[in-house]
Chain A
Amino acid sequence: MACKLTLASQKGGVGKTTLSLNLAVAFAERGLRTLLVDLDPQGAVSLALAKDDTDWQGLTELILGQCSAEEALTPTKLRQLTILARGRLDPVDACAFEQTLFQAHPLGPILEHYENDFDYMIVDAPSGVGMVTRACLAVSDFALLPFVPDSLNLRSLFQMLRVVQHVEEHDNQALRLLGIVVNMVDLENAATQQVLSTLWSGFAGVLETMIPRSEAFSRASAAGLPLSYLGGPLTPAARRLQSLSTELLDLIAEMRNAAGINDERGQRQLI
């Protein structure tokens, strides 16, 4: 049964899509069958991979019955990684798309269809605590909250936590807060240090691995590549992402075990 993980944040620009993409790649590079689901109405994953937003069919066509579940998937050169793109949604219809996701609940059955084909589904939600974010959380096992350490983010973090709590209480009792991942960290900035000290001194669920603000992300973005696909030596930021994926996988295993869900694998033959 695939484990579904939504990356969500009340604020934009915190690196949800970048983290979603790079975590999906990191999971897949470990041999885990991973589906990256782009739920951002602006098609952020496609844009991050330098694709035009009409290049890939996906969720939009699937919901409209214009393609099959298999046709909606985009394979990648990394064999274990598949993308369920947003599809060729006309931006002027984003409202209808959002409303449908929230009110008609198509996401549950769609992801369920792929359930046995993947080990992990990483869902990239749009910014904000609106309808699509709620729809994503309602079908997820875990919520991961990217957090850029500045004062405005700290002030508004409550909003996202409140929504996670609400969804857990009303829509999806299986949902758990996986953690808060601190992203784009610049430790030389005094204001950043102050926010981090507040975060570390009292908040629960803050992950140990922080992702630094790095020029490598800009280069990868310009090239339309995940960080680990950039040529040259593996950057420190890419190493941090590997550490983050390790921490997340350990945490997921720990939390699933605590919930009585065992990480069972079939017996295999080496030779």
Chain B
Amino acid sequence: MKEVNVSSFSIQRALELSRLLSRSAEARTSPAASGASYVKFNLEPPPAAPAPVALHFQKPVEAPAPAPVPPTSFHNWDELLGWLISSYPFDAVFVLDAQGFIISHQGKWSYDEVEGLGANLLLANQQAQRLDQLGLVKQLLVNVADMRLAAMQFVRADKESYTVGMSGAHLASEDEYRQIRELLAVQVDIV
């Protein structure tokens, strides 16, 4: 699947599973080829963290870096994403339309990877909205293995919905996410 408007994400795995689960007896001989890297959502509490190892020395406490100052306005999504990735600890940023199609992306993820991630993000957001009885979920923070993923949803004055995704090995701070959210809330009507 290399077509631009049909994601290859999960399709290959779905295709393999459909063959495995289909009625052909021959196809059923190899069990459990799930190969999925899902995060298990167990209700049991996580095991207690090991006691911290004593350090021989402590690094001096560094003063928190001042918040990056954004330009007054961005002319397009590329410019905005470029600023985000250079100012915060993200290694990939992207923006999707309401259907999950990529408007712009920058960073380490390929187009196909962003497309797959985007489709799942929109589904995750739908699930989150079910949990939120007011239906006001506009931001998701997800930890998947060593990836920290943030997604913020905005509805422009013209009712078009956009989702901005940011991923990296480290989470930005609460304050940083708040700054980004406030910035995007204003900029989304300009870009």
The answer, yes or no, to whether A229 is at the interface (CB within 8 Å) is no
The answer, yes or no, to whether B19 is at the interface (CB within 8 Å) is yes
* A:153-172 near B, CB below 8 Å: 154-159, 161-162, 164-166, 168-169
The answer, yes or no, to whether A255 is at the interface (CB within 8 Å) is yes
Q: Are A161 and B119 in contact (CB under 8 A)?
A: no
* B:89-109 near A, CB below 8 Å: 99-100
Main secondary structure of the interface of B (DSSP, over half): loop
The answer, yes or no, to whether B24 is at the interface (CB within 8 Å) is yes
Residues of A within 8 A of B17 (CB): 158, 161-162, 165
Among A166, A176, A180, contact of B18 (Cβ-Cβ < 8 Å): A180
Among A164, A169, A194, A255, contact of B23 (Cβ-Cβ < 8 Å): A255
> How many pairs of A and B residues are in contact by the CB < 8 Å rule?
92
Residues of A within 8 A of B5 (CB): 151, 191, 194
CB distance from A196 to the nearest CB of B (A): 11
0/1 string, B116-139, CB within 8 A of A gives 1: 100100110000000000000000
Residues of B within 8 A of A161 (CB): 14, 17-18, 21
Residues of B within 8 A of A152 (CB): 99-100, 119, 122
Taking Cβ atoms with an 8 Å cutoff, the residues of A that contact B are 151-152, 154-159, 161-162, 164-166, 168-169, 176-180, 191, 194-195, 198, 202-206, 251, 254-255, 258
Would you give 5 A-B contacts (Cβ < 8 Å), ordered by A? A151-B99, A158-B11, A179-B23, A194-B6, A258-B25
The 3 closest A-B CB pairs, nearest first, are A204-B22, A158-B14, A205-B22
Taking Cβ atoms with an 8 Å cutoff, the residues of B that contact A are 1, 3, 5-7, 9-11, 13-15, 17-25, 27, 31-32, 34, 36, 38, 99-100, 116, 119, 122-123
